[in-house]
Structure 1
């Protein structure tokens, strides 16, 4: 893996850490969850053979700190529109004269969908992998109730129980246990102390970012309702995607619902919702093909 060129972009209320590799037309990678730019380490070099590949840590996560709140005020719930504006500012910095290709994953795909509807002329194509825009689903009230349970659990019991409730709500129906908790998943093969330094640093950043992600990003992003009329009008630039192993899970359902609504084929990537991490080589190959069509 080659070392990227790194930069800092001052935006209203935050300072974004971004990374650039390669040469050619711009491909902006927008991460989901708490992965940040490092989520794309397994695919960026291969894509950089054809594109100028840019990735970044969204505001408030990892190496993109928010400005300190005013005295007596807490960090605000994050806005999809504001995160989309951040992506647009990076496009304007790195490709001011030409529209760009964008890949967004999970919450990053939600921000990218908003950008596509707000500024379609700035995008050649968007590949949106499992954006959990649950408000489009017929059973949206069920998922609003899930978000309320996550918030209440976070306030009353803390991060770990709230993450269990959240993970259970994303699973396929019937996969949670009787207490509404997701089944236990295996931990990493190596304990954190034995991970390579770069991986250990990434794991530490991920854990540190979880309270902000669950408490400040998830509520606003999963309550976001895209403008389906405007999105359909530019659906020729949109590729909706899901994981081959995540059929039936909540984020997959939203991608499949939108693809069906727009009469388009759902692109499948290897792995599940986190296939970018678990199957990087195959994931990168499918992503490259999606932008060549």
Structure 2
């Protein structure tokens, strides 16, 4: 078990392989284990790192820590890279990790060689934000009625990941995710919902960025089409290249080998 002291907290992290550094930032439920398959597949060529975000899973909750911000989350990612002497690195952030990565390139560009941002939940930038909010609210209430905060967490993950995504998570990791419910719902959710950089801020980003979305979300009738739509919006704001990845919202869980082979040539190019 590897840990590092960063910004007044202890972060658990996993490091695999050797070569150019790639940091994977987890989103909802903040667990390094979500990236293990992708990291293993790419560790033959890259130094793959992921971590449990502060207060999640194997990263203990700091004393007197009662709230967070996206700035704090980005500071943790920057501190991790500096502490491991891996900066600058290519950074891949998916879902909520993409929100953190967006802030990272704005506030700590020196630690990011290049950024790959996948379907960040900037819901207010989608064309039907109210409908998405209603869906989230309904899932939250349904889960709470069944099993309190843990049930709400699992219900939200099912909504975002689908049955295939949840089925790809082993029982031990799944229980860790459920145990993170209090931190995510009570301390993180509001920060993720409220964070949205201005068009001027995004247009000023100098770090090379690629924005991605999952191919199965391209169809306007797809359940998670808003994720595809938000990625297109963000690519326009950043003047960045837009690419499709396989699967739905969590290809690092459901299409591990295919995703790794999509990322490999990108990582080679971006690591130069």
Equivalent residue, structure 1, for 2:121:
132
- Give, in angstroms, the shift of residue 135 of structure 1: 3.4
- Within 5 Å, which residues of 2 pair with 1:201-216? 201-216=172-187
1:56-94 alpha-carbon deviations (Å, 9 max, x no partner): 00011100011233xxxxx53321110100000011112
Q: Is the 8 A contact 1:170 1:251 kept in 2?
A: no
1:226-273 alpha-carbon deviations (Å, 9 max, x no partner): 243232222661110111112342322211211233444421111111
Give secondary structure in 1 for the equivalent of 2:99.
helix
1:116-144 alpha-carbon deviations (Å, 9 max, x no partner): 01122221110011111223345556666
Which residue among 54, 77, 85 is the counterpart of 2:67? 77
1:20-41 alpha-carbon deviations (Å, 9 max, x no partner): 1122222111112225111111
Which residue among 91, 94, 101 is the counterpart of 1:102? 91
CA RMSD of aligned residues (A): 3.3
Equivalent residue, structure 2, for 1:27:
22
Unaligned runs of 5+ in 1: 1-5, 70-74, 172-183
Closer, same or farther in 2 for the Cα pair 1:54/1:146, shift >3 Å?
A: same
Instruction: Name the CA distance, whole Å, in 2 between partners of 1:55 and 1:152.
Output: 28
Give secondary structure in 2 for the equivalent of 1:77.
coil
Which residue among 228, 251, 259 is the counterpart of 2:235? 259
Check if 1:46 corresponds to 2:22.
no
- Give, in angstroms, the shift of residue 209 of structure 1: 1.5
Equivalent residue, structure 2, for 1:240:
211
Instruction: Name the CA distance, whole Å, in 2 between partners of 1:278 and 1:213.
Output: 23
Give secondary structure in 1 for the equivalent of 2:201.
helix
Give secondary structure in 2 for the equivalent of 1:42.
helix
Instruction: Name the CA distance, whole Å, in 2 between partners of 1:232 and 1:107.
Output: 21
Q: Is the 8 A contact 2:15 2:50 kept in 1?
A: yes
- Give, in angstroms, the shift of residue 106 of structure 1: 0.8
Q: In terms of Rg, which structure is larger?
A: 1
Closer, same or farther in 2 for the Cα pair 1:35/1:224, shift >3 Å?
A: closer
Equivalent residue, structure 2, for 1:291:
267
State which drifts further: 21-30 or 57-66.
21-30
- Give, in angstroms, the shift of residue 204 of structure 1: 1.6
TM-score, structure 1 as length reference = 0.76
Equivalent residue, structure 2, for 1:3:
none
Which is richer in helix?
2
Unaligned runs of 5+ in 2: none
TM-score, structure 2 as length reference = 0.82
1:129-186 alpha-carbon deviations (Å, 9 max, x no partner): 1111223345556666777x47994998533774588579869xxxxxxxxxxxx947
Which residue among 234, 251, 258 is the counterpart of 1:275? 251
Q: Is the 8 A contact 1:21 1:44 kept in 2?
A: yes
Closer, same or farther in 2 for the Cα pair 1:169/1:43, shift >3 Å?
A: closer
Q: Is the 8 A contact 2:20 2:47 kept in 1?
A: yes
Equivalent residue, structure 2, for 1:177:
none
Equivalent residue, structure 2, for 1:86:
76
Q: Tell me the number of residue pairs that the alignment of Structure 1 and Structure 2 aligns.
A: 262
